[in-house]
Structure 1
Amino acid sequence: MPPLPLPLLLLLPLLLPAAARPPAPPSRPSFTCGGVVSGESGFIGSEGFPGVYPPNSKCTWKITVPEGKVVVLSFRYLDLESDNLCRYDFVDIYNGHANGQRIGRFCGTVKPGALVSNSNKMLVQMTSDANTAGSGFVAKFSAAEPHERGDQYCGGRLEKPSGSFQTPNWPERDYPAGVTCSWHIIAPKNQLIELKFEKFDVERDNYCRYDYVAVFNGGEINDAKRIGKYCGDSPPAPILSEKNELLIQFLSDLSLTADGFIGHYKFRPKKLPITTVPPTTTAVPTTSIVKPTVAPCQQKCKRSGTLESNYCSSNFVITGTVITAVTRAGSLHATVSIINVYKEGNLAIQQAGKSMSAKIIAVCKQCPLIRRGLNYIIMGQVEEDGRGKIFPNSFVMGFKTKNSKILNALKNRTC
């Protein structure tokens, strides 16, 4: 048989049946800065992924799924500059395409659980500054039926004078893995919201890094307004809002789950006195932080009771390193990098990756004396804004590794 002419050789691959052709090399998706995407499912990602995302950019993706469904967004990869408050490089997720409620803001490398919109539209916006950058993110969006909320999806807007909310599947079985629920409670302008958890069982972790409930003053996820972050099997203490809005966020990761929780809320008039947990001794007036020259600072600077007795009477118990200490109006305002949390109460704890911190106020600046750079066991009360407060007789002592054993024993014992 004579050799085939060159033009025919070039056409041969096209003439062969599909099964006989060599497979085409897989193509890697290329992501651009923002865009408009729609459909039952798809992927979005930062510009240049998996390379480093560009500095000084703001990219917006508008996602639309079919009418009558909701958007579920799941991060497959997240690598942005880490910061306690996500101030530098971050991804914001919003309900709707314009002026919608922010579902969350994320940075660092810890992926959130599935995020669910309240309609068939969601907006994703990534912002970067001039400095540190990472590989960015990749996320999958998909459409889900709203009626699936009872099974896996949850959250919503609560405006009745009283009501309840609970994790998906409650009480028949454990909550599912990989969900995010946000309940936005809105009272009339002249009323506050009282919140109580009746049953509570969320995967336990010292830092509540995996599954947790976070409660915020106002209507959005904002660490500066966080009242507390809760996990484990002890219900949080009753919570009272500062104003007429509260946001409750529940998040589960993709591993262990637990029974979940049921919570109840009710509106109450502003004029009623606010019920807060009293200080450990009646000799300490709650107004002492405003007037530092009154009784508390005239007391002897001596902690009272024992480590065991103070553990039960304190709102919060932590160990940590003092990283900032500033004197203001006779009080010491400190930031503590947390080593361990034994009792959180309503203490506002900020988290960035594995790093956690809390704000502490020593009512009298040198009593008890805490110094920058040193490690302490700190037990105290919590102000309404979530800051810890310590008095001259509060139990504060230098922390050494050997103290961990007794603190762990106290944590596992019922007060």
Structure 2
Amino acid sequence: MEKQVFLLGVFLHLATAQRTDNTTRPVFPCGGQLSGNQGHVASESFPAAYPPNSNCSWTITVSPGQVVHLSFRHLDLESNPTCRYDHVSIYNGQSPSAERLGRFCGTIRPGALVSTGNTIHIVMESDSDSAGKGFLAVYTAGLPPTTESQFCGGKLVKPQGSFTTPNWPDKTYPTGITCTWHIVARPHQYVELNFEKFAIEDDTYCRYDYVTIYNGDRSEEGQRLGRFCGSTLPGSITSEGSELLVQFVSDLSVTADGFLAKYDVRQRNGVALQPEPTSPPTTTTTTKAPRRKGHPKGTMCQTKCRRQGTLQSNFCASDFVISGKVVSLSPLGQGLQATISIIHTYKTGSLAMREVQGKTLAKMLLVCRRCPNLKKGVRYTLMGIVDAQGRGRIPPNSFFLIYKPQQHQVLTKLTKRRC
């Protein structure tokens, strides 16, 4: 409720701005230099639709010795799994040559972003087919993190280790932070991540505070393995390659206890590596993971096969939501490629579909052959992300259901909600 009131206040402020001079609404230009300890920044012509073929840049500068807190209050850009078309990018400095804090599109607002210095740079680009109202963000000046909160993110290269949210376990994590941990193994190894304690501000769509896990070393939507919040422990997560990126974001209001996560670097045969001789003592026990009967040697197939969340909580977080019948299943690497004959589409994103003899077909990649254990001829409701080839990607923790006609009414209602 406080967030809704704040958002209403921002819009009222914008609506009444400049009223002493004239009755026109404020005009947001394409880029500019912004300063002061608080203010707002918006896409060109907001809240009208942003123009096509634009490239706008803003630099926000606050007082020396302070940092910039940037919080999105509205986001409505053309959606794409990797934000390759219309997008807004945030940089930790004065120009795009600085560290990129994130690239965003669609309608799901990111959490608060915080610079390490007193400047932050914003770039919004649109192509020839722009769509949406753009964005509105509020910025405020704040003090740099205290010493106890500075251990936020970093590069982890040891074969085993753990990391926590700032302030754990003494008190709740701070507001307005973004922490990124980059876990790096060697070629032919993979990373297994487990959360032992987990308490993040709860929200159906994880819009405010959340943890996002990515394959590789970049926070790209096409590589996202999952986004989590609330108090339910996420299942075990493994990288497909030798790197894993964990990003934690908190906004400017409610906080919670945070999390404790542990990781193990394993060989492809499932053996956890011994700690390096110079490593400090660790409570993590080195064990040999048993291979489950019938599972291939792939890393994702050693993850417990259980879906995360509910139909409603996964709807907005997914690129596509469809119901359909499995027409064929064929081996592809360590997984399976499924051909789905679509019954209903609720979200498609950039999912590639084609018409064959009066049927609409789509391809799905099951990262693990038996998780989820789809069967030819059975109808399912499926959701997940879309890869660069336009193919649906379904890791072991993807949400799916055996299709039942009564699901159609629920999913149709969800399509009418704004994520």
- Above 0.5 in TM-score? yes
Kindly state the Cα deviation for residue 172 of structure 1 after the two structures are TM-superposed.
3.8
RMSD: 4.8
Match of 2:53 in 1: 56
Match of 1:247 in 2: 245
Check the 8 A contact 1:101/1:220 in 2, yes or no: no
Query: CA 1:63–1:197 in 2, change beyond 3 Å: closer, same or farther?
Result: same
Unaligned runs of 5+ in 2: 1-18, 273-287, 312-320, 351-362, 384-391, 410-419
Among 141, 152, 162, the residue aligned to 1:143: 141
1:158 lines up with 2:155 in the alignment = yes
Per-residue deviation, residues 258-277 of structure 1 (Å, max 9, x unmatched): 332122346x4757636798
Q: Which moved more, 1:244-253 or 1:90-99?
A: 244-253
Among 34, 37, 40, the residue aligned to 1:37: 34
Match of 2:109 in 1: 111
C-alpha separation in 2, matches of 1:138 and 1:48: 11
C-alpha separation in 1, matches of 2:289 and 2:374: 22
C-alpha separation in 2, matches of 1:118 and 1:270: 36
Kindly state the Cα deviation for residue 38 of structure 1 after the two structures are TM-superposed.
4.1
Query: CA 1:249–1:359 in 2, change beyond 3 Å: closer, same or farther?
Result: farther
Q: Which moved more, 1:321-330 or 1:57-66?
A: 321-330
Kindly state the Cα deviation for residue 199 of structure 1 after the two structures are TM-superposed.
0.8
Q: Which amino acid aligns with 1:316?
A: R
1:398 lines up with 2:403 in the alignment = yes
Match of 1:293 in 2: none
Q: Which amino acid aligns with 1:224?
A: G
Query: CA 1:79–1:172 in 2, change beyond 3 Å: closer, same or farther?
Result: same
Match of 1:237 in 2: 235
Match of 1:91 in 2: 88
Among 176, 182, 186, the residue aligned to 1:185: 182
Percent identity over paired residues? 38
Kindly name which structure, 1 or 2, has the bigger radius of gyration based on alpha carbons: 1
C-alpha separation in 1, matches of 2:100 and 2:327: 33
1:258 lines up with 2:268 in the alignment = no
Query: CA 1:38–1:244 in 2, change beyond 3 Å: closer, same or farther?
Result: farther
Check the 8 A contact 1:360/1:389 in 2, yes or no: no
1:16-415 matches, cutoff 5 A: 24-25=21-22, 28-96=25-93, 97-148=95-146, 150=148, 155-159=152-156, 161=158, 164-175=162-173, 179-187=176-184, 193-204=191-202, 207-243=205-241, 245-252=243-250, 257-265=255-263, 268=265, 273=270, 282=293, 284-286=294-296, 314-316=305-307, 321-322=322-323, 329=330, 331-333=336-338, 359=364, 361=366, 368-370=375-377, 375-376=380-381, 387-388=394-395, 397-401=402-406
C-alpha separation in 2, matches of 1:47 and 1:209: 24
Query: CA 1:240–1:336 in 2, change beyond 3 Å: closer, same or farther?
Result: farther
Q: Which amino acid aligns with 2:108?
A: V
2:217 aligned counterpart, secondary structure:
coil
Per-residue deviation, residues 349-384 of structure 1 (Å, max 9, x unmatched): x999xxxxx9553959x971257xx54489xxxxxx
Query: CA 1:197–1:269 in 2, change beyond 3 Å: closer, same or farther?
Result: closer
1:147 aligned counterpart, secondary structure:
coil
Q: Which amino acid aligns with 1:126?
A: M
Match of 2:284 in 1: none
Per-residue deviation, residues 282-340 of structure 1 (Å, max 9, x unmatched): 2x24169xxxxxxxxxxxxxxxxxxxxxxx97333776633697868565435799x9x
Q: Which amino acid aligns with 1:121?
A: T
C-alpha separation in 2, matches of 1:244 and 1:313: 20
Per-residue deviation, residues 114-166 of structure 1 (Å, max 9, x unmatched): 11123333221111122242222222233322234756x87332346365433
C-alpha separation in 2, matches of 1:245 and 1:328: 29
Unaligned runs of 5+ in 1: 1-21, 289-311, 340-349, 353-357, 379-384, 405-415
C-alpha separation in 2, matches of 1:141 and 1:206: 25
1:108 aligned counterpart, secondary structure:
coil
Q: Which moved more, 1:24-33 or 1:92-101?
A: 24-33
2:29 aligned counterpart, secondary structure:
coil
Count of aligned residue pairs for this structure pair:
328
Normalising by structure 1, report the TM-score.
0.61
Check the 8 A contact 1:228/1:386 in 2, yes or no: no
